[in-house]
Amino acid sequence: SQKIEQNSEALNIQEGKTATLTCNYTNYSPAYLQWYRQDPGRGPVFLLLIRENEKEKRKERLKVTFDTTLKQSLFHITASQPADSATYLCALGRGGGNKLTFGTGTQLKVEL
């Protein structure tokens, strides 16, 4: 069955450092992968989408890589700030506006 795994433990880093979050998947051939941010008691907020034929995508301090051979995506936040503290979810989709399958999320805490 399909499985999407993210760092199960919380990630604590110091302000200014680069945070790297991992999303691994098995038994799935996604057309694209998305990253979302979720704050406690709130709905997810869309951050980035990367397609299967793209290796890397950037948006301001965010960078996403997608390796379909390794079946892995890495999500980087450079120059991290305490305001970046949240849970980050990866989600996979097959395209055509079809449904997304979400990972369990990684909680990031950026400390002063």
Partner 1 sequence: GAVVSQHPSRVICKSGTSVKIECRSLDFQATTMFWYRQFPKQSLMLMATSNEGSKATYEQGVEKDKFLINHASLTLSTLTVTSAHPEDSSFYICSARQGRSDEQYFGPGTRLTVT
Task: Tell me if 100 contacts partner 1 by CB under 8 A.
Answer: yes
Closer residue to partner 1 (CB): 49 or 74: 49
What burial class does residue 32 get, using C-beta atoms within 10 Å of its C-beta: 0-12 exposed, 13-18 middle, 19+ buried? middle
Backbone angles phi, psi at 78, to 5 degrees: -90, 155
Task: Tell me if 10 contacts partner 1 by CB under 8 A.
Answer: no
> What would the x/- binding string for partner 1 be over residues 77 to 96, using CB under 8 A?
------------x---x-xx
Site for partner 1 in 36-75 (CB under 8 A): 36, 41-46, 49
Segment contacting partner 1 by CB under 8 A, of 18-26, 27-35, 55-63, 76-84? 27-35
